[in-house]
């Protein structure tokens, strides 16, 4: 009885001390068995969501939630012959192809958890994922390292389709520390160069997807918008301490001239959407435009913000605090 009372008191203190935004995120988007629900996409789950949830669990020092998330991820997504994750789950795995950003996020979370809670097994599992990222997702073209978005489907005859928001720079920096002989610093350098080349339209913004041909020129691909993927590019640059003035200016100029925060802009036609971006976009813009000498007033999340918007806000706060390394 005494042990039970101590446990109840411990959990009560932990919950009362927990960050309310993290508690709200968990209550809305994390199931009891450890599945993160993408409420903006029919409540599917995916490796990206599991990775974000695991990273946030470490940041908010919540090992119970981390363990639930990792257990579910390992059981339901790490089902391929390699250590990479099937990217999409909708009652079952519906696409066994991986999503490289999800693999990176989960591996990063495991390394952070290993440090935070002194658990070497997490690092061992992360290194297995890194081994298959190196083997299957990193290629070299004309002495440039390229990060494929997935193992299958993005290498064409004369070009490669890239998603530049998959360069999670703070994660790659961590990988370079734990695996110094890996290609991680080369990926950071080449990712930066690719982002500098991927400047389109009036505002010189990157698009969600780009093509990279053998002549090393970039063009927008598939979705021609600066939108729901590319919004993470400035977040990861800032988080990695890599957002210098030339890289920063196109984003700040665009947001200062479009204070209503349109959700997307077509980088070829310069046509902006007629609907507002979710709060998560505003959180990233707030981070990028923040005055380091002034306190940030973060945009407020509400019940209309889905999983992705909410995650971006929490991650922006992490980046501002310089958390995770």
**Residues with a known catalytic role:** 48, 101
Spatial distance between the Cα atoms of 307 and 54, rounded to a whole number of angstroms: 14
Q: Can you state the angle between helices 100-117 and 169-178, rounded to 10 degrees? A: 60
Do the beta carbons of residue 25 and residue 52 sit within 8 Å? no
Is the distance from CB of 30 to CB of 69 less than 8 angstroms? Answer: yes
Separation between Cα atoms, residue 161 and residue 125, nearest integer Å: 29
| Cβ atoms of residues 151 and 106 within 8 Å | no
Q: What is the maximum span of the chain, computed from C-alpha positions, in angstroms? A: 72
Nearest to 117 by CA among 170, 59, 177: 59
Q: What spatial distance separates the first Cα and last Cα of the chain, rounded to whole Å?
A: 41
> Would you say 260 and 200 are in contact if contact means Cβ atoms under 8 Å apart?
no
User: Cβ-count burial of 274 within 10 angstroms (0-12 exposed, 13-18 middle, 19+ buried)?
Assistant: exposed
Q: What SS3 class is residue 247?
A: helix
The answer to whether residues 103 and 85 touch, using CB atoms and an 8 Å cutoff, is: yes
């Amino acid at each position: 009885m005494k042990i039970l009372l101590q446990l109840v008191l411990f959990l009560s203190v932990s919950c009362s001390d927990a960050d309310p935004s993290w508690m709200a995120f968990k209550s809305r988007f994390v199931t009891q068995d450890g599945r993160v629900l993408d409420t903006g996409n029919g409540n599917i789950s995916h490796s990206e969501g599991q990775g974000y949830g695991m990273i946030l669990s470490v940041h908010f020092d919540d090992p119970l939630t981390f363990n639930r998330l990792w257990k579910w991820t390992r059981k339901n997504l790490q089902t391929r012959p390699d250590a990479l994750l099937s990217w999409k789950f909708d009652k079952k795995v519906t696409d066994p192809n991986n999503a490289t950003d999800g693999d990176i996020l989960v591996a990063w979370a495991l390394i952070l958890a290993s440090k935070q809670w002194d658990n070497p097994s997490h690092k061992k599992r992360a290194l297995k994922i890194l081994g298959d990222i190196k083997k299957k997702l990193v290629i070299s073209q004309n002495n440039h390292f390229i990060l494929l978005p997935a193992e299958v489907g993005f290498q064409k005859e004369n070009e490669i389709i890239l998603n530049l928001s998959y360069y999670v720079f703070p994660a790659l920096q961590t990988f370079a520390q734990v695996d110094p002989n890996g290609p991680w610093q080369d990926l950071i350098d080449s990712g930066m160069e690719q982002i500098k080349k991927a400047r389109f339209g009036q505002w010189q913004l990157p698009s969600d997807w780009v093509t990279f041909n053998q002549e090393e020129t970039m063009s927008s691909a598939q979705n021609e918008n600066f939108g729901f993927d590319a919004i993470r590019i400035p977040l990861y640059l800032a988080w990695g301490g890599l957002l210098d003035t030339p890289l920063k200016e196109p984003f700040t100029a665009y947001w200062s001239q479009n204070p209503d925060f349109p959700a997307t802009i077509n980088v070829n036609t310069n046509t902006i959407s007629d609907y507002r971006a979710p709060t998560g976009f505003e959180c990233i813009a707030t981070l990028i435009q923040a005055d380091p000498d002034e306190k940030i007033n973060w945009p407020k999340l509400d019940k209309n913000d889905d999983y992705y918007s909410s995650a971006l806000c929490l991650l922006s706060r992490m980046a501002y605090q310089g958390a995770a390394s």
